[in-house]
Amino acid sequence: MSSNEKEGGAVSAQNRGSWSAFLKSIASFSGDLSSLTAPPFILSSTSLVEFSSYWAEHPSLFVAPAAEQDPEKRMLLVLKWFLSTLKQQYAARSDKFGNEKKPLNPFLGELFLGKWVDEAGTTELVSEQVSHHPPVTAYQIANKEHGVYLQGYNAQKASFSRTINVKQIGHAVFSIPAYDETYLITLPNLHIEGLIFGAPFVELNDKTYITSSSGYTAKIDYSGKGWLSGKKNSFTATLYPTGKETDILYTATGQWNKTFDICEGSKKHNIIDTYDADAVPTTKLIVAPIEQQDPLESRRAWQKVAEGIAVGDMDIVGVEKTKIEESQRELRRQEKTDGRSWERRYFSLVENDVVLEKLAPAIGLLPEEDKTGGVWRFDERKAAGQATTTSSAPAPTSTEKKLELK
Ligand SMILES: CC(C)CCC[C@@H](C)[C@H]1CC[C@H]2[C@@H]3[C@@H](O)C=C4C[C@@H](O)CC[C@]4(C)[C@H]3CC[C@]12C
């Protein structure tokens, strides 16, 4: 743990000045989160491209739907897995360090590759920054033994109104080809709580949906502590046949970062399952040693910046970040001169996506392609030409070598 990370909780006397200057600066903030300048002590050395891994830190829950024969119960298992990911996605860092941190902004083409190996077999992750303006991350998570796949992409738009509000644009697609089944998942909007106390954490807003090609939909309503009542990170999810919202088959309710109950029907006393986030251990993602990583892999590319953050040396951080930014600018200049654009390694833009065409209308999802550069999908053809394992990255091209910072 870095000196920076040990500080968690309320702002120390030493950091109070920079924190109040930050609070003043964000009052007029709106746009890409990448343009938000946070004080050094709130900087994380983890790039946003790594966040895709939060979808599968419980591989057994991820693959569980594949073993269920009944489509209704399968949908319930997909909902349970989704709910279990929320703690990892939105509370893991504030739980660990006492406060949320500002992640590193990935550069175009940045990769995060890894795998989980446990009782669920091998679950592989490919995450790639597919756009820089606007920043968009795409990912695929695959467990081939169980035949379970997740892919998606996301961008964030931030605005300030009493606090930092973040709108998520994008979606995820969970699929089990053996059942010819696809689930379209929308992403929660969020806001930052605790800013005033210097101990920021995430609270989710509004609602999200999961809708399946087998004819079921789950609606997840998020609520927080509020001024007068309620508990932090609360939600109520209902599962129903698509289009029949009042025919509730199952209800899940509780706190996504702690415990929740799954009940049959709409009555909250018919409990059939209880999930305790603290009782279900996560599996550690295996990432190749830095020296064996491709130059575009996140931890290798950001290594020196991360070292600077760890020791609180903002001069090193500045110098090393500038090197990355400069080499990125040079790549863009070169592409412009050559009349070509950056070739994404694993993902491609698609038109007329069949999953969206079929499932998005049921939940009113608008893909907002202008905000993500289009609809991004995992490209099997491209991936076949790449090594997605964590140890044998393909040799970098000459353009990519320019990124290798000495
Ligand atoms: C703490 C504050 C001062 C700086 C702002 C940090 C802000 C940019 C961070 C904080 C939380 C981040 C969310 C994170 O909780 C989880 C996810 C889910 C993941 O799948 C995609 C990224 C996203 C939305 C992060 C974006 C950056 C956030 C809002």
Q: Which atom of ligand 1 is nearest to the CA of 190?
A: 29
| Gap between the Cα atoms of 46 and 74, Å rounded | 34
Q: Quick check: 334 and 403 in contact, CB under 8 A?
A: no
- Distance (angstroms) between ligand 1 centre and the Cα of 281 equals 23
Beta strands at 207-212 and 216-223: parallel, antiparallel or unpaired: antiparallel
Q: Which atom of ligand 1 is nearest to the CA of 154?
A: 21
> Which protein residue has the closest C-alpha to ligand 1 atom 21?
51
Q: Is the distance from the beta carbon of residue 90 to the nearest atom of ligand 1 less than 6 Å?
A: yes
CB half-sphere exposure, 194, CA atoms < 13 A: 18
Q: Which atom of ligand 1 is nearest to the CA of 137?
A: 21
pLDDT score recorded for residue 12: 80
Quick: pLDDT tens for 130-172: 999 999 999 999 999 999 999 999 999 988 888 999 999 999 9
Classify burial at 166, counting beta carbons within 10 Å of its beta carbon; exposed 0-12, middle 13-18, buried 19 or more: middle
Beta strands in 108-258 (DSSP E): 111-118, 121-131, 136-143, 148-161, 163-176, 181-186, 190-193, 201-204, 207-212, 216-223, 234-241, 250-255
Q: Is the distance from the beta carbon of residue 102 to the nearest atom of ligand 1 less than 6 Å?
A: yes
Q: Quick check: 150 and 78 in contact, CB under 8 A?
A: no
pLDDT score recorded for residue 9: 55
- Among 192, 195, 233, name the best residue to mutate to test ligand 1's pocket (greatest count of ligand atoms within 8 A of Cβ): 192
Q: Which atom of ligand 1 is nearest to the CA of 164?
A: 5
Q: Which domains does the chain have, with CATH numbers?
A: 3-279 (2.40.160.120)
Q: Quick check: 210 and 202 in contact, CB under 8 A?
A: no
Q: Is the distance from the beta carbon of residue 38 to the nearest atom of ligand 1 less than 6 Å?
A: yes
- Distance (angstroms) between ligand 1 centre and the Cα of 69 equals 36
Which residues of the chain, if any, have pLDDT below 50? 1-8, 388-406
Q: Quick check: 114 and 387 in contact, CB under 8 A?
A: no
Q: Is the distance from the beta carbon of residue 383 to the nearest atom of ligand 1 less than 6 Å?
A: no
Q: Quick check: 277 and 84 in contact, CB under 8 A?
A: yes
Quick: pLDDT tens for 61-80: 999 999 999 999 999 999 99
pLDDT score recorded for residue 34: 75
| Gap between the Cα atoms of 140 and 128, Å rounded | 9
pLDDT score recorded for residue 228: 58
- Among 164, 167, 171, 204, name the best residue to mutate to test ligand 1's pocket (greatest count of ligand atoms within 8 A of Cβ): 164
Quick: pLDDT tens for 241-282: 999 999 999 999 999 999 999 999 998 789 999 999 999 999
- Distance (angstroms) between ligand 1 centre and the Cα of 30 equals 15
Q: Quick check: 156 and 33 in contact, CB under 8 A?
A: yes
What six digits make up the tokens of 98? 């006492």
Cα dihedral 230, 19, 187, 266, rounded to 10, equals -10
> Which protein residue has the closest C-alpha to ligand 1 atom 5?
102
* ipTM entry: 0.98
Q: Is the distance from the beta carbon of residue 89 to the nearest atom of ligand 1 less than 6 Å?
A: yes
What six digits make up the tokens of 234? 């609360």
pLDDT score recorded for residue 33: 74
- Distance (angstroms) between ligand 1 centre and the Cα of 100 equals 8
Q: Is the distance from the beta carbon of residue 191 to the nearest atom of ligand 1 less than 6 Å?
A: no
